[in-house]
Structure 1
């Protein structure tokens, strides 16, 4: 299988064996359950669906409740699919934990970035603003400036960098190294930062090539 589900637990820093202090992110990897195994004959492709975190039965719809009963597990809050060709290694109801990974492995982290709301061009696109304040220009420091000619083309081209909603999008951070694994507390320590707020769900995917750091 290509990966499992985790949760953002926050950032810290650790010292490596050579004495370097490295910024890293802690990812909580609770036990994931195999909810569904999709095959080429039934679904047209191979994949494994994993579930994480318990959910109250009264908050689950009847069709989804029947979906969980097929695998013989209780309802889960988060369901994610991982495409995989060697699905025969797992069965319905199997439990997958942090030991799925090894120290030194390289992974990709996929999650929803923090939502920043409606932002201007300085914060959203790193604009510099119109310039220094001068006589009569007290509110132009963070202005976008001109957005195009008036007579021709008489419109704003699509994709023009302007103010708008920022964040809250699906983001993938590639090639992060697993620095430490705490099997007792189900924790992965990764170098660098990852998308999302604390306790947000993440998709942790192994690289296809077995290169280690």
Structure 2
């Protein structure tokens, strides 16, 4: 009787402890297998997204397509005369070794854009994150970077060179630039104020801006009042600038009008 009871006790112990343990282990292994498979699928999905190959295939651009721009350096200003004898002021721009340094796709970044780099710069003159960025993309060190939003049909591979052949004579582009610094200027030069009377009773104050506020009500100068201050060194965009001439041999571009400082062209 005692032996039978001991066998029953051992049998019940096996059922109570070992079987649930085996079930829990199988569930844990099943959960781990499921997580591992999910991880593998996510990794394969990520690899398929990051390994998207951008190729410069010839195609027809639509009226809704938006191409990349370029970074140019101002070389000088001159004037040309057309066949009717009219004087045309132009600015000469130089595209200093523009290449595509990064491609941003909707699958990875959520939008389509191209990062363009121009010029050359030594590694010791760059910050470590910049050096790591250039090395990760496999492109040489660049002096200046700019990003241009483009449509998906205008994406170009990393390392593609952007020359003046990217533009054609007669085309209209938008030019973004930094204006010349004028220093601290008065209201007449900065805002075009008329000034004070320069006759009787205006001793050495004929270029003054005059009253800047009111009397007791409100008795203060409102924010944003046009007054003397620092002038220039501001980003400005001139739209619809006419491309007059393209020189592929020297990588020069003539645009109509007088621009200032390095230009960023967007076609």
TM-score, with length taken from structure 2:
0.72
Q: What is the deviation of 1:78?
A: 0.5
Which structure has more helix as a fraction of its residues? 2
Partner of 2:87 in structure 1?
A: 21
Q: CA RMSD in A?
A: 1.4
- What is the DSSP-based 3-state SS (H/G/I as helix, E as strand, rest coil) of the residue aligned with 2:107? helix
Once the two structures are superposed, residues 65-97 of structure 1 have per-residue CA deviations (whole angstroms, 9 ceiling, x without a partner) of: 111112222211100000001366411111111
Unaligned runs of 5+ in 1: 207-213
Deviation at 1:51, TM superposition (A): 0.5
Structure with a larger share of its residues in strand: 1
Match of 2:217 in 1: 152
Gaps of 5+ in 2: 1-66
- Say whether 1:123 aligns with 2:189: yes
Structure 1 position 165 matched with structure 2 position 230: yes
The residue number in structure 2 matching 1:80 is 146
Residue 111 of structure 2 corresponds to residue 57 of structure 1: no
**Computing the radius of gyration over CA atoms, which structure comes out larger, 1 or 2?**
2
Contact 2:99 2:116 in 1 (8 A): yes
Residue of structure 1 aligned with 2:112, choices 46, 51, 56: 46
Larger relative contact order, structure 1 or 2 (CA cutoff 8 Å, min sep 6): 1
**Are 1:9 and 2:70 an aligned pair?**
no
Q: Decide whether the 8 Å contact of 1:47 with 1:87 is kept in 2.
A: no
CA distance in 2, matches of 1:59, 1:117: 29
Runs of 4+ in 1 over 6 A off after TM superposition: none
Is 1:30 matched with 2:96?
Answer: yes
